[in-house]
A and B are shown apart, each in its own frame.
Chain A
Amino acid sequence: MTDLFAARAQMALSLGFHIVFAEIGIAMPVLMVLAEWRWIKTGDDVYRQLARRWAKGTAVLFAVGAVSGTVLSFELGLLWPTFMRFAGPIIGIPFSLEGFAFFTEAIFLGVYLYGWDKISRRAHWVAGVIVAASGAASAVFVVMVNAWMNTPTGITMDGARVMAVDPIAGMFNPSTVQQAIHMLIAAYAATGFAVAGIHAAILLKAPQSALHLRALTLALIIGVPAAIMQPVSGDLSARVVARWQPVKLAALEGDFTTMRGAPLRIGGWPSEAESRTRYALEIPRGLSLLAFHDPNAEVKGLSDYARDLWPPVAPVHIAFQLMVALGTAMALIGVWVVVATIRKRPVAESRLLLRAIALATPFGFIATEAGWTVTEVGRQPWVVNGLVRTADAVTPMPGLVYPMTVFTLLYIGLAAVVVVVMKSIVGETT
């Protein structure tokens, strides 16, 4: 294993691990606040129990998110010192703002989790709202950094030398808005569906549980609108990619040849050696229509670019297909929930729908991992698109396979414990 590969694997693992906890940290506070608000409004004590139970799970998951986020802030330098030396003056500004947003989140989460009996109901609820708002703000600031890596702006180069930086321009680069929206919706959809799925699974066994019925409803209130909106956000994001990162678009579509009226490929297996994608279901002119809203628009294929500028095509294409498939499934379940509600048929009374929701428990998180793979692997060979190659950014320290192995084992252990602890929290009373 080369050092570069080990560094990439460690970074991918650390981000892939953290992103799940980050999404939960963004969306769980909204659920807690919603449940507590229902309690304040209705006086129904079940809502208070629910808010406290969710808070307990959030405490565990937030702590794991906080420590894994700390690891990342150091790993940026431990693994990619050259990248940080180059990019620090720009991405440091959104990271600083994120630092403060995260600080606010941690402070008020402490107040929320441990202050139930110490402050007034209203103050407690407001603390929860601050946690939810600062969690969303953190996510936006972090995504600004990733958006900048995809479409860097605010940097003036003279050859390899940086002449001037404008961090504000860097923060508001062409990818920022769509990526931030896509990430936030992903957090609400993934967490909402995961929580709904867990409670749906319990309701299949104990259909009368008041706590789980209320939990399911609130989780769907967060998850369903997000899941239905996500395909729209995905379309907008893909159009930004089409405009600014044509190589990434070509890779995620498995599109090797430049043509007008390019087809949309569903499924399929791209072969870089043969420069073609086999076994795909092709919808004529679909890609041109989706990416440029013109059935005859020209879409660049990978063959237009030098081989050393191609990202690994198969993983990017397959990850993209997986993300779209899972996102579509969630949106369809969301529509099903909406239709059932309009027809005044309670979700919990349809065992089929409950089963579908339970089945979709991990869909959002898997889709997130796949989407993250698309944006990160799809940007290779660059760490900063068009400016810094990943291979040039890696630390000169040899033997990177060792830290990679240690952190892999650490995260596997941590993940196993988190599962056990969450099971015990969920299973406390059913």
Chain B
Amino acid sequence: VIGLPEIVAVLMLVALNAYALTGGADFGGGVWDLGASGERKEAQRAHIAHSLAPIWEANHVWLIVMVVMLFTGFPAGFSTIAIVLHIPLAAMLIGIVLRGSAFIFRSYGSTTAGARRRWGVIFAAGSIVTPLFLGMVVGALASGAVGEASLRNADPSASFVQVYVAPWVGAFPIVIGLFALALFAFLAAVYLAYNAPEAALAEDFRRRALAAAAVVFVLAVRSFFLSFGHAPRVASAMMHGWFAIPLQIGTGVAAVTAILALRRRRYGVARAAAGAQVSGILWGWALAQYPFIVPPGLSIRAAAAPARTLELLVIGLAAGAAVLIPSLRYLLRVFASSPT
């Protein structure tokens, strides 16, 4: 049945998807700042900084919107996740603080090359830590370990490690963390190739995008096989759910298209296909986890806020979107047309 809780869950996923495609790619930019090399090293860094500067703060707000929707629409889900995953979420926040502040300090506060380099390293480190822990949070959630730990929390004999560490420290969440990092790096490289001001720079990021695509492929296969043992419910839904075949095929086609387009230097096509690929993976996870917000026990329905809140949330989101969408289009229009 599709009711208000499902609608809010879908909207929340739209926000997460938008965050992955925009804010996620910004983290990927930090990875390539660290990975800058060759004779155009500084030009690569300048291109990354130039692309990020006007948009990263707006992109980042998608995460806040997502979290606010989570605690408004599904307060029981938010509190369970926040209790069990305190440590990786706090680590992610530290990454967010370091990434954002180091980026701005590098642009505005550093006069010497040495200072710029030091802030650059912190910017890159924050850009790596954040997606890694974000992915681990998602992996822990999908595996059902968060839900099981929160049930165990009532049991006084459960140890700190069992409840607060074990759910997110394991082969599966770690591989999902690396997978998220690789996906964001891949997205960023494709975007940076697309809007590169000169062909040589586009070529640098094209090579990086292809390399990242290979890593994404390896980690996708790895996480797929690990999921049978570590996240059996999600794995089985990914195989047998009504959406499984079309979504798998769609995501696969997008992935292949992205690589072929990169090979032929059709960057516009590559950008769209890479975005579709990342979105396909995200929606696949969400559909496989349905109807649970914190598997195995807490469903979207059970975690949902009262109907009045959900109604107002949907109205508020609609009103917000009416302001937001034209504003975002304006932002992108002002800065997209500027390969300086």
Known contacts A114-B335, A417-B109, A78 near B89 by CB under 8 Å = yes
Query: How many residues from B make CB contacts under 8 Å with A?
Result: 64
Query: How many residues from A make CB contacts under 8 Å with B?
Result: 70
A410 B320 Cβ-Cβ under 8 A:
no
In-complex Cβ contact of B320 among A100, A168, A414 (8 A): A100
> Which stretch (B72-80, B271-279, B280-288) binds chain A?
B72-80
CB A170 to nearest CB in B, in angstroms, measures 10
A88 B61 Cβ-Cβ under 8 A:
no
CB B115 to nearest CB in A, in angstroms, measures 10
B79 A84 Cβ-Cβ under 8 A:
yes
A103 B324 Cβ-Cβ under 8 A:
yes
* A395 interfacial contact with B, CB 8 Å: yes
CB B113 to nearest CB in A, in angstroms, measures 16
From 112 to 164 in chain A, residues with beta carbon under 8 angstroms from any chain B beta carbon are: 113-115, 118-119, 162, 164
From 164 to 197 in chain A, residues with beta carbon under 8 angstroms from any chain B beta carbon are: 164-168
A66 B60 Cβ-Cβ under 8 A:
yes
* A109 interfacial contact with B, CB 8 Å: yes
Q: Residues of B contacting A119 with CB < 8 Å?
A: 334
B61 A103 Cβ-Cβ under 8 A:
yes
* A387 interfacial contact with B, CB 8 Å: no
CB B83 to nearest CB in A, in angstroms, measures 5
B308 A166 Cβ-Cβ under 8 A:
yes
In-complex Cβ contact of B81 among A67, A77, A167, A424 (8 A): A77
Q: What's the Cα separation between A110 and B50 when bound, in Å?
A: 12
A78 B308 Cβ-Cβ under 8 A:
no
Known contacts A96-B317, A96-B320, A99-B320, A70 near B82 by CB under 8 Å = no
Q: What's the Cα separation between A62 and B101 when bound, in Å?
A: 10
B324 A425 Cβ-Cβ under 8 A:
no
Where chain A touches its partner, the secondary structure class is: helix
Q: Residues of B contacting A56 with CB < 8 Å?
A: 108
* B63 interfacial contact with A, CB 8 Å: yes
Q: What's the Cα separation between A136 and B313 when bound, in Å?
A: 21
Q: Residues of A contacting B101 with CB < 8 Å?
A: 63-64, 67, 414, 417
> Which stretch (A209-217, A257-265, A396-404) binds chain B?
A396-404
CB B74 to nearest CB in A, in angstroms, measures 8
B89 A71 Cβ-Cβ under 8 A:
no
Q: Beta-carbon contacts of B88-115 to A below 8 Å, as 1s and 0s?
A: 0110011011011101110111010000
* A97 interfacial contact with B, CB 8 Å: yes
Known contacts A63-B103, A85-B75, A167-B308, A100 near B160 by CB under 8 Å = no
B86 A395 Cβ-Cβ under 8 A:
yes
Known contacts A81-B78, A103-B58, A115-B334, A92 near B68 by CB under 8 Å = yes
Q: Residues of A contacting B1 with CB < 8 Å?
A: none
* B305 interfacial contact with A, CB 8 Å: yes
B65 A99 Cβ-Cβ under 8 A:
yes
Q: What's the Cα separation between A164 and B309 when bound, in Å?
A: 10
B82 A92 Cβ-Cβ under 8 A:
no
In-complex Cβ contact of A417 among B57, B105, B163, B308 (8 A): B105
Q: Residues of B contacting A74 with CB < 8 Å?
A: 67, 82, 89-90, 93
Q: What's the Cα separation between A106 and B324 when bound, in Å?
A: 11
* B331 interfacial contact with A, CB 8 Å: yes
Q: What's the Cα separation between A69 and B72 when bound, in Å?
A: 17
Chain B interface residues (CB < 8 Å from chain A)? 53-55, 57-58, 60-61, 63-65, 67-69, 71-73, 75-76, 78-83, 86, 89-90, 93-94, 96-97, 99-101, 103-105, 107-109, 111, 153, 160, 163-164, 305-306, 308-309, 312-313, 316-317, 319-320, 323-324, 327-328, 330-331, 334-335, 338
Q: Which 8 A-B pairs have the closest CB atoms?
A: A92-B72, A77-B82, A88-B75, A421-B109, A100-B320, A81-B79, A89-B305, A63-B104
Chain A interface residues (CB < 8 Å from chain B)? 56, 59-60, 62-64, 66-71, 73-78, 81-82, 84-90, 92-93, 95-100, 102-104, 106-111, 113-115, 118-119, 162, 164-168, 395-399, 403, 406-407, 410, 414, 417, 420-421, 424-425
